[in-house]
Amino acid sequence: MRQSLRLLPLSLCIALALPAHAADGDGEDWGLCPIVDAVPSFDDAPAPMGNMATRGQEPTDIDGGQLERSANDQDIVVQDNVKLNRGDQFLGTDKLSYNEQTGKYSAIGHVRYQDSGMRVTAARAEGDQTADQHRIEDVQYQLTQRRGNGGAERIDLNGPKGSLVGSTYSTCAPDQRAWELRAHRIDIDTAEGMGVARNATIRIGKVPVMYVPWFMFPVDERRRTGLLYPQLSLSGRNGFDWRQPVYLNLAPNYDATLFPRYMSDRGSLLGAEFRWLYPNGRGEVYGNWMPKDDLPGNEPERYLYDLNGNPIPGATLPEDNRGQFALTATHNLNSTWYANTNLGWVSDTHYFEDFSSSLYGISNSTIRSDAGLYGRGRYWEAQLMADHYQLADYTLTDASLAFDRLPRAYAHWAQPVVGNWLQAGVDTEAVRFQHTEFLGGSRFDLKPYVVMPLEGAAWFIRPKLAWRYTAYQADGSGLQRATEFVRRYGGTVTPELIEQFSDSTQSRNMPITSVDAGLYFDRNTTIRGDGYLNTLEPRIYYLNVPYRDQSGLSIYDTGATTFSWGQLFRDNRYTGADRQADANQLTAALTTRLISEETGQERLAASLGQIFYFDDSRVTLPNEAPIEQGKSAWIADASISPSDRWTIAGTYMWNPKYRAEDMTSFRARYIFDNNGVVNFGYRYRRNSGFRPGIDPPENQDLLEQADFSFLYPINRTWSVVGRYYYSILDKKQLETIAGVQWESCCLAARLVGRRYLRNRDGELDTRIMFEFELKGLGSAGQNVERALRRGILGYNRDDLYLVPPSSAERLNNGGGQVESTPDPTL
């Protein structure tokens, strides 16, 4: 039988209750929760079909053992296991009475309701559908789309407004009520999308720990102006640190967030973020301002003296008006072209160090701002852009900044020709360089090439012929450029040096010839009963570039690359166009792999390679030693996964010239049950520019560090975390983390002590962080989990495959947690 009767609005009643105020909880770990439902599934209910958006178009089916009409033929009475279905909705009860004329109804006995989002039981429901007035008594509910359950003594609805009396909410299992939120009365207004709770308490076990006489909260997904969760911490540098985000919902496609912050030992700071989104682009602007900072006055020597204790000429204390600004915006012009800008600024060179709470604060020496127009097609890409650098490291001077490119035009084209037998391409660049300390100039670089990609199933050979032409227009006279060269790289101004730089218009051109070839062998093998595909992949790469004297060419954006596996197959060991290395060399390399035939996982990958220099490579940067005829360092790279728990990888470079290693890198990771992990890393690198007999011995070693971190589960609820990051070369502690965390089904608490490198003087800062989380509702205290994810690789399993935080995220560390605000939508 089908009737036009609408289902009782029980889903609306519960959706207006406390679960709507709760946090989403999608990112929570519910693995410790028992499989217990406050409202078990209904055996007589069909599986929900459809959703809330489509249910209004569906008719209502009524089924029951007995169907009767009253004497006045107005009341329909259905009893004996009554069932109503509409779309994803189901309603079951022992007896249902409905008056078609008045719209009044009553459902008595074992009232059961479910839809795609919840299950509900109640003792009785009655109301007037014509007047849109309803009352439901003795309610229990279970959310199915996210974890949460609770109940209410009574729910009263009158149109868009309603009240819940004696309501509860928790994400804990019914028989393990670790916490519960209770409210004496909650008034709901669906038209406004807001609710008001009165006399609300949060209970841990049976003990009330928080009482709120009145608070307002949203009951739907609409973004609203209001307070976000605060962040609290305690540190030796800032003292008590309280950050309180305030979200401003300005329009559907743009919003703002304020970040007022109070540091008891330093003062107050105000940060702000504005975000916008429109069909062709998006962007955000962020900044903060601190009118008065007490930190410089407490430690004036850090700002007025250099690392050697000498006074810095003209240095002042950055106490007043300290701040930061960042802008990121993108606009799509069409399917091919878009405009993008990233701008950044800080008030002083101590800013990142003083306002960041991580090692990134002392690793950022410059801020790069850029704006440009970018395009990409099937065979080409192009850009027209400009960039500028600001110094953000007080130990350096403006002379260490890179040259600004104002502007830079770049184009790349590569396309198959003559079928697929040949590929022709060109890379070209035109740049105008400027600098506050040095003479600028213009540079044009053109590199056309042709490649013949010959390959088969088990082999490839790619001969390539390129021609590189570079032209310069340098600013200033020969004397000025020679004087600047001595200032940058040392030495004495001589007539020969002046003559070297006398011509302001210089050029360089040369052919570049290379051949890249390789073979691929494979076989099936068995190791300890498991089948593997074993490959052997030899590869050779020959490069020939004739020598051209480039000592008189200006150096704007070029540096030597760090010797690595990738450099074995590059046609230039320099970045930038100011130097093109001459070469007559051959790279020989060999790679082998073990690939599981069952899972396809690469269990072993090992590579070994070396460059053979047939002639000296005489093109160098100033103060760089030429590469002599002979052999390069051996490069060995290997990674092995003997099981799903172990991952071991390492890189080793052995230099036959010094009979010592140039670089050593070792990484190991073990994954425990219950999401535990242990990481160990070791890194050593020799100064590749070290010249025996010229450089002092202490310059031979460039870096040596060890890093150990872990998350170790003691049992299902308790675990310990830690990290020890140490510079062996400098005998300096970089970061130490030690903490304990406890977690149950619906509660979590984390207590962590953290000591990290505060500044380039080697001083350490200490922080005590505590976080208490009611899963599915919110947390109080510092965002400890975020700090642990940054310091312990694999603290969250997904982080094992993530890239490091972007520069934009690091830039925002100074004032607020930008990522905590909701996204604007169109």
Q: Could you report the per-residue pLDDT of 567-596, keeping only the tens digit for each?
A: 999 999 999 999 999 999 999 999 999 999
CB 317 within 8 A of CB 327: no
Higher confidence at residue 356 or residue 207? 207
What pLDDT was estimated at residue 97? 80
Average pLDDT of the segment spanning 752-778: 78
In a domain, 508, yes or no: no
Look at residue 760 and tell me whether its pLDDT is greater than 70: no
Residue 62: beta bridge partners? Answer: 84
Higher per-residue pLDDT: 253 or 49:
253
Exposed/middle/buried for residue 424 (C-beta within 10 Å: 0-12, 13-18, 19+): middle
Same domain, 575 and 612: yes
Same domain, 460 and 492: yes
Specify the higher pLDDT residue, 502 or 428: 428
Residue 30, SS3? coil
* Residue 354 sits in the same domain as residue 303: yes
Residue that is last in its domain, among 671, 688, 723: 671
pLDDT at res. 533: 95
Q: Does residue 577 sit within a domain?
A: yes
> Could you give the C-alpha distances from 465 to 424, 461, 512, 615, 759, in angstroms and in order?
10, 13, 6, 20, 49
Same domain, 521 and 458: no
Compute the average pLDDT of residues 697-717: 82
In a domain, 686, yes or no: no
- Are 387 and 419 part of one and the same domain? no
Q: 810 lies in a domain?
A: yes
Residues 179-197 have a mean pLDDT of 79
Same domain, 105 and 132: yes
Asked if the model's pLDDT at residue 193 lies above 80, the reply is no
Tell me how far apart the 2 most distant CA atoms of the chain are, in Å: 122
Q: What is the pLDDT of residues 156-167, one digit of tens each?
A: 878 777 788 888
Residue range 514-540, pLDDT digits in tens: 999 999 999 999 988 889 999 999 999
Q: Is residue 684 part of a domain?
A: no
Whole-angstrom distance, CA of residue 179 vs CA of residue 24: 17
User: 328 and 349 in one domain?
Assistant: yes
State the pLDDT at residue 58: 67
Please tell me the predicted confidence (pLDDT) of residue 60.
65
Say which residue, 709 or 96, is predicted with more confidence: 709
pLDDT higher than 50, residue 824: no
Lowest pLDDT segment from 114-123, 261-270, 808-817: 808-817
Q: Same structural domain for residues 380 and 489?
A: no
Residue 624: φ, ψ to 5°: -110, 135
pTM for the model stands at 0.77
What is the per-residue pLDDT for 801?
55
Q: How far apart are the first and last CA of the chain?
A: 43
> Could you tell me the pLDDT band of residue 822, with boundaries at 50, 70 and 90?
very low
Is 509 within a domain? no
Let me know whether 244 and 344 are in one domain: yes
Q: Tell me what percent of the residues of the chain surpass a pLDDT of 90.
A: 43
Among the candidates 222, 240, 263, a domain finishes at: 222
Sign (positive or negative) of CA dihedral 564, 570, 576, 577: positive
pLDDT given for residue 38 in this prediction: 74
Q: What is the pLDDT of residue 55?
A: 59
> Which of residues 604 and 314 earns the better pLDDT score?
604
Question: What residues contact 338, with CB distance under 8 A and at least 6 apart?
Answer: 281, 330, 331, 332, 373, 374, 375
Q: Per-residue confidence at 106, pLDDT binned at 50, 70, 90?
A: confident
Output the domain CATH number for residue 112: 2.60.450.10
Q: Which domain holds residue 485?
A: 396-499
Take residue 221 and report the two structure tokens written for it.
């997904």
Residue 690, in any domain of the structure: no
Per-residue confidence band for 5, with pLDDT thresholds at 50, 70 and 90 = very low
Number of domains present in the structure of the chain? 4
Give the pLDDT confidence score for residue 361 in this predicted structure.
56
- Report the chain's mean pLDDT, rounded to a whole number: 83
pLDDT over 70 at 316, yes or no: yes
306 and 213 within one domain: no
My answer on whether 187 and 288 are in the same domain is: no
Is the pLDDT assigned to residue 337 strictly greater than 60? yes
Last residue of a domain, one of 671, 687, 721: 671
DSSP summary character for residue 6: P
- The proportion of the chain whose per-residue pLDDT surpasses 70, expressed as a percent, equals 84
Do residues 725 and 810 both lie within one domain?
A: yes
In-domain check, residue 506:
no
